[in-house]
A and B are shown apart, each in its own frame.
Chain A
């Protein structure tokens, strides 16, 4: 951990109106999986400001290459590079952040025993990968474009193409799971899971634009997905137990 310029204050409060509503009946599973009592708020203590640290030692050489990391052979589907920056709410890059991703294959099928979609498995696609951000917070991985798929919710609900992201910042209170969507997908405004987010600007912040400048010619298109984690207050005037 590089602590020299780390802010010493607690984390900025989560904006619960920006996040999805926990109880959102159009997403049926949320009805009985959402708390009803008010959340208990309190200032972040050491238990939330700290969090697990993962060195690059946990990574294997192919962890960030979902096209090849399952069998070594190439997975089927449109090849893409996904890159971006993990930053905090004050724009500071979050270095050393572990980013885990998982997704369906190009046909919209997950490699999971509870998965029932008729689309075929790809023998060379596992569907998981991970990467650790560099000192400035940048990350990059390579994969295939996931397919959209139907799911049992309403009678005819489809998930837009998406990649799941799990992100660790420097503090356990920053822990975040979210999903990245793709620019131009017509299923985005129809999706009951995206519909849990009330603010249209918040939805936009999860849609990755295609980036021709980062596209690898004759190989892979590129999509940019920046991720913002909660920030810590930065002030010389934080009240401390030792006084002053």
Chain B
């Protein structure tokens, strides 16, 4: 026998179920008066630095249908690449955290945020501007991790260590928010199928 490592196991995940909005966005699903507002509903609390952007999209199942019971969360750096609450010089009017329940009829999520600045990779290289994404819903047994990159950052994307690491380079567009004619970005997620989004194990 050898010594015990005395390490614990992470609590196993369980699906968020069909009623995740009761716990995470109660005002959205008609449970008013418990919390003054839903967590993550506002990412900007005043005038923010940098380019203000809107990202919309929907999460699709393996049959191509939009989920109407998903919860999407994002976490990102501010316009200067600083993380709110962690970097002392981060934008004080920007939370970096957004949570969207998606529209009850269409499943469409929406984030009013800022274009993130570049952040370094652990080895010192620059990553392209990106937003971390976490998706839970009924039927998703372990929350899905992915990232939003931006289609109009071709130069930075070409240098990004994660995008470069993808064996199937034809899947890179699944991580790209596409700039639309109205100036917003579109980021559709496909959980399964030929257009399956690249999900991460991080």
Contacts and interface: CB of A to CB of B under 8 A. Distances in A.
A58 B166 CA distance: 40
A5 interface: no
Given A48-B202, A112-B19, A34 B11 contact: no
Which of A47, A129, A205 counts the most chain B CB atoms within 10 A? A47
A46 interface: yes
B198 A178 contact: no
Which of B14, B24, B136 counts the most chain A CB atoms within 10 A? B14
Interface string B49-60: 000000000000
B10 A15 contact: yes
Contact of B22 (A88, A111, A172): A111
Contacts of B30: 111-113
User: Size class of A's contact patch?
Assistant: 35 or more
A41 B201 contact: yes
State the majority secondary structure of interface residues on A: loop
Nearest to A104: B19
A1 B85 contact: yes
B185 interface: no
B14 A206 contact: yes
Given A29-B138, A164-B17, A227-B11, A128 B34 contact: yes
A111 B14 contact: no
A37 B76 CA distance: 25
A19 interface: yes
Contact of A40 (B120, B122, B165): B165
A178 B191 contact: no
Given A32-B139, A176-B11, A229-B11, A47 B75 contact: yes
Contacts of B171: 37
Interface residues of B, number: 81
A89 B10 contact: yes
B10 A14 contact: yes
A111 B198 contact: no
Contacts of B182: none
A175 interface: yes
Interface stretch (B106-114, B126-134, B150-158): B126-134
Interface string B161-202: 110011000010000000000000000000111001111111
B93 interface: no
A202 B142 CA distance: 14
Which of B61, B75, B143, B171 counts the most chain A CB atoms within 10 A? B75
A176 B16 CA distance: 10
Interface stretch (A49-57, A134-142, A211-219): A49-57
B96 interface: yes
Interface in A78-96: 87-91
B198 A193 contact: no
A52 B95 contact: yes
Contact of A20 (B61, B76, B120, B141): B141
A102 interface: yes
A110 B19 contact: yes
B119 interface: yes
A141 B178 CA distance: 43
Interface in A106-158: 110-115, 126-130
A228 B11 CA distance: 5
A49 B58 CA distance: 26
Interface of B: 6-24, 26, 29-31, 33-36, 39-40, 61-63, 67, 69, 73, 75-77, 83-86, 95-97, 119-124, 127, 130, 132, 134, 136-145, 147, 161-162, 165-166, 171, 191-193, 196-202
17 contacts: A19-B13, A22-B141, A30-B139, A33-B191, A34-B140, A36-B62, A39-B199, A41-B200, A45-B119, A111-B31, A113-B29, A128-B26, A172-B132, A178-B12, A193-B14, A202-B12, A203-B12
- 9 closest A-B pairs by CB: A102-B23, A241-B124, A29-B139, A33-B139, A52-B97, A53-B85, A32-B62, A39-B201, A20-B141
